[in-house]
Amino acid sequence: MYVLELAGEHDEFAAYEARSRASDVSLLAPGLATARGIDRVGTLAFTHRASKLLGRSDPSLAGAAALLQAVTLERDGTVAVRAVDVRRTTDIDTQAVERELGAILVDRGFDVDLDDPDHVLRALFSAGETGDVCALGWLAAESTRDFGTRKPSDRPFFQPGSMDPMLARALVNMAGAGEKTRLLDPMCGTGGILIEAGLVGSAVIGHDVQEKMLQGSRQNLDVALMGDWSLLRGTASALPLVDDAVDAVVFDTPYGRQSKIEGELDTLVAGVLSESRRVAPRCVLVSDRPWETTATETGWNIETQFQRRVHRSLTRHVFVLTAD
């Protein structure tokens, strides 16, 4: 069993993304989840770390110390303790925890190396509606936190409103992106979703009606990706692809008040969803409004949906759609 340290403030969203790389994921406490198995956690956006779970106690120093005294420790080499008050929910003295647990490890025959340890013991304290816990575990994997190096404004081609890479990574993971998969963005814009899918191993296809966007997306993909990618031009409601051509579709719809096609948006989204259903068994749709009725009318089942508040005037709706 593993304990996952979740990023962001929306644990259900983070846990759902984690299920693309881990099995039997369940929320444990604010900012924490458990998983039975992990795979490629380093590609997750909303999971910071995964640790091999030693055990759980109440979120107190005494509870953590008693737990560490009781568990079997099968490790060789040097160790360090890292204590975290997850989202500052417990008021635990993390330095005191590190000193106390470190002393227990020394008493049990371990050498402590705070600078470059062979193993790191994570002591995670959290309290809230979903649970009160201290989880102890040996650090097993960390996600690659390099999203800041791919800011949309730093790309060769940039347009205002481009999606944040961290969110784009989460969406493609939810869609099932990875090695031996093919992913389509039928309204690819500047290519941000394609970049994140390509970086986790998918072959990607971008499609847009505007030549300007395709040219800009080509510039961005040339810089960001070395793998398999291609771009197509046309109307998203009439994709130039055969049936079942891809494994998943991910797209961010035009936002109504900002779009020149506001009056035609219902027809457009219905057409794109219908075509997406024809070419793929799975779709992740992002929009500034709910599309439940349109999704079901075009043949999709809604597996789950989320709302993510961006600012006072914008809430993103995320729909995960399946053919079955």
* 233 or 324: which leads in pLDDT: 233
- pLDDT tens-digit map of 1-58: 999 999 999 999 999 999 999 999 999 999 999 999 998 899 999 999 999 999 999 9
d(C-alpha 104, C-alpha 37), whole Å: 28
Q: Write 206-209 long-range contacts (CB < 8 A, 24+).
A: 206/230, 206/231, 206/232, 207/231, 207/232, 207/233, 207/234, 207/236, 207/239, 207/240, 208/233, 208/236, 209/233, 209/234, 209/235, 209/236
For residues 258-267, average pLDDT:
66
212 has pLDDT over 90: yes
User: Residues of the chain with pLDDT > 70: what percent?
Assistant: 98
Res. 74 pLDDT band, cuts 50 70 90: confident
259 has pLDDT over 70: no
d(C-alpha 296, C-alpha 156), whole Å: 38
d(C-alpha 242, C-alpha 235), whole Å: 15
Cα dihedral 213→268→280→300 (10° resolution): 150
3-state DSSP of 176-213: CCCCCCEEEECCCCCCHHHHHHHHCCCEEEEEECCHHH
Q: Which domains does the chain have, with CATH numbers?
A: 2-142 (3.30.2130.30), 147-322 (3.40.50.150)
Sign of the C-alpha dihedral computed for residues 277, 233, 153 and 246 taken in this order: positive
Residue with tokens 């992106």: 177
Rounded to two decimals, the pTM is 0.94
260 has pLDDT over 60: no
Q: Please report the pLDDT score of residue 263 as a whole number.
A: 55
Q: CA angle 17-300-19, nearest 5°?
A: 15
Q: Please report the pLDDT score of residue 125 as a whole number.
A: 98
Q: Which of 104-108, 273-277, 308-312 has the lowest mean pLDDT?
A: 308-312
Residue with tokens 């458990």: 34
* 175 or 254: which leads in pLDDT: 175
Q: Please report the pLDDT score of residue 163 as a whole number.
A: 93
User: Residues of the chain with pLDDT > 90: what percent?
Assistant: 88
For residues 272-276, average pLDDT:
98
Tokens encoding 258? 């900002």
Q: Please report the pLDDT score of residue 150 as a whole number.
A: 93
For residues 167-179, average pLDDT:
97
For residues 156-183, average pLDDT:
95
Return mean pLDDT, the chain.
94
- pLDDT tens-digit map of 119-166: 999 999 999 998 999 999 999 999 999 999 999 999 999 998 889 999
Question: Is residue 112 within 8 Å of residue 105, measured between CB atoms?
Answer: yes
- Region of 128 please: left (phi>0), alpha (psi -120 to 50) or beta: left
Q: Please report the pLDDT score of residue 256 as a whole number.
A: 55
262 has pLDDT over 80: no
Q: Please report the pLDDT score of residue 185 as a whole number.
A: 98
CB within 8 Å of 177: residues ≥ 6 apart: 183, 196, 197, 200, 201, 202, 248
For residues 196-201, average pLDDT:
97
